[in-house]
């Protein structure tokens, strides 16, 4: 796999999320996927020993998606409009069945009434 293929995957993932196709996004994930957001003060921490902002396995991811798709997710009803920008994609290591990739991204979020934010 080359960098262009990795970029295409990231762009596809971003398009699914920006379109709120959360089921399509979950279809990209494998059963042992984990979604990790470490704290700023320990970016290389271990989620088993460090309190992470998010440390979800697939069961938790499915639960989050189910909640976000319901009207009970008041913070996201109606859903935010988002745009994800992905840059500086690099393959750090490449094995037979696994890649280690790094990239920079930002998410621009827009809410009704002019509220919005940027997440880097």
Residue 120 has pLDDT above 80, yes or no: no
Q: How far apart are CA 113 and CA 19, in angstroms?
A: 20
Q: How far apart are the first and last CA of the chain?
A: 27
SS3 (DSSP) at 7: helix
Q: How far apart are CA 7 and CA 61, in angstroms?
A: 23
Q: What is the pLDDT of residue 92?
A: 96
Q: What is the pLDDT of residue 119?
A: 67
- Mean pLDDT within 77-96: 94
pLDDT digits (tens, 9 = 90+) for 20-51: 999 999 999 999 999 999 999 999 999 999 99
> Per the structure block, which two tokens stand in for 92?
């750090």
What DSSP string describes 52-73? -SEEE-HHHHHHHHHHHTSTT-
Output the pTM of the full model: 0.85
- Give whole-number Cα distances, 112 to 14, 75, 109, in Å: 21, 11, 10
Sign of the torsion angle spanned by Cα atoms 45, 51, 57, 61:
negative
């Amino acid at each position: 796999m080359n960098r262009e293929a990795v970029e295409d995957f990231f762009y596809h993932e971003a398009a699914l999320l920006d379109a709120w196709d959360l089921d399509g996004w979950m279809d990209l994930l494998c059963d042992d996927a984990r979604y990790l957001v470490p704290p700023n003060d320990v970016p290389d921490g271990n989620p088993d020993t460090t309190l992470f902002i998010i440390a979800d396995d697939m069961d938790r991811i499915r639960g989050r998606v189910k909640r976000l798709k319901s009207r009970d997710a008041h913070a996201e009803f109606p859903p935010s409009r988002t745009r994800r920008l992905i840059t500086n994609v690099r393959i750090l290591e490449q094995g037979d069945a696994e890649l280690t990739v790094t990239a920079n991204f930002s998410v621009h979020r827009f809410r009704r009434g002019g509220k919005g934010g940027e997440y880097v």
